[in-house]
Amino acid sequence: VRELPAKERIIVALDVSNVDEAKSIVNSLKGEVGAFKVGLEAMSLGIAHEIAVWVMNQGEKIFWDGKWSDLPNTLKGAAVGLKNRFGKMPWAVSVHANCGQKAIAEVVANRGDSLVLAVTALTSLKDTDCEKIYDCDALKAVLRLLKVAIEAGVQGIICSPQEASLIKLNLKAVGVNVLLITPGIRPLGSEVGDQARPATPKEAIMWGSDFLVIGRPITRAKDRVKAARIITSEIEMALLERSM
Binding residues for ligand C5P (CB under 6 A): 13, 15, 39, 123, 160, 183-184, 195, 213-217
End-to-end CA distance of the chain: 17
In this complex, which beta carbon is closest to ligand C5P, that of residue 105 or of residue 199?
Answer: 199
Report the distance separating Cα 197 and Cα 192, nearest Å: 9
Closest of 165, 129, 194, 186 to residue 157, by C-alpha: 165
Running DSSP on this structure, what letter comes out for residue 171?
A: H
In this complex, which beta carbon is closest to ligand C5P, that of residue 114 or of residue 123?
Answer: 123
Whole-angstrom CA distances from 58 to 8, 14, 27, 228, 237 are 16, 15, 9, 19, 29
Q: Which residues are catalytic?
A: 67
Report the distance separating Cα 60 and Cα 36, nearest Å: 8
35: which strand partners?
A: 11, 61
Helix (H, G, I), strand (E, B) or coil at 87: coil
**Least distance in Å: CB of 67 to ligand C5P?**
9
**Least distance in Å: CB of 115 to ligand C5P?**
16
In this complex, which beta carbon is closest to ligand C5P, that of residue 104 or of residue 231?
Answer: 231
**Least distance in Å: CB of 200 to ligand C5P?**
12
**Least distance in Å: CB of 75 to ligand C5P?**
20
Side-chain-side CA neighbours of residue 138 (13 Å): 14
In this complex, which beta carbon is closest to ligand C5P, that of residue 110 or of residue 123?
Answer: 123
Quick one: CA torsion of 202, 204, 208, 213, rounded to 10 degrees? -120
62 and 38 Cβ atoms separated by less than 8 Å: yes
Residue whose CB is nearest to ligand C5P in the complex, by number: 215
177 and 154 Cβ atoms separated by less than 8 Å: no
**Least distance in Å: CB of 73 to ligand C5P?**
27
In this complex, which beta carbon is closest to ligand C5P, that of residue 41 or of residue 77?
Answer: 41
